[in-house]
Amino acid sequence: MAERRGRGGRPSKGQRDLFVTRPPVEDADKLRDLADELGMTLSDTVAALLRIGLRHLGELPIPPSTKQEELPLTQAS
């Protein structure tokens, strides 16, 4: 049996997950400019910023709670 050889291409970056988002146009433009400036792909730039953001969760604005409290019902109708 013939030995299988690699076909070239980029080395694997490991398992990845797919996220789709629609940032405001101004933010998307800044992301593209940053990726170009860093010489990175847009995907790698977003992933790097995501890793940084996950280390700063305490800085995220917390939305007001929409959780409803349970009513204290003592008997069924």
Q: How far apart are the C-alpha atoms of 8 and 23, rounded to whole Å?
A: 34
Q: Cβ neighbours of residue 40 under 8 Å, at least 6 residues apart?
A: 48
Split into its structural domains, the chain has a count of 1
Radius of gyration of the chain (CA): 23
DSSP class of 2? P
**Is residue 4 one of the residues assigned to a domain?**
no
* Residue numbers of the domain that contains 29: 25-52
Runs of H (alpha helix) within the chain: 25-38, 42-54
Q: Give the three-state DSSP class for 53.
A: helix
On whether residue 42 sits in a domain, the answer given is yes
pLDDT band, residue 70 (cuts 50/70/90): confident
Residue 25 has pLDDT above 90, yes or no: yes
| pTM score of the predicted model | 0.65
Residue 8: band (very low, low, confident or very high) from pLDDT cuts 50, 70, 90: confident
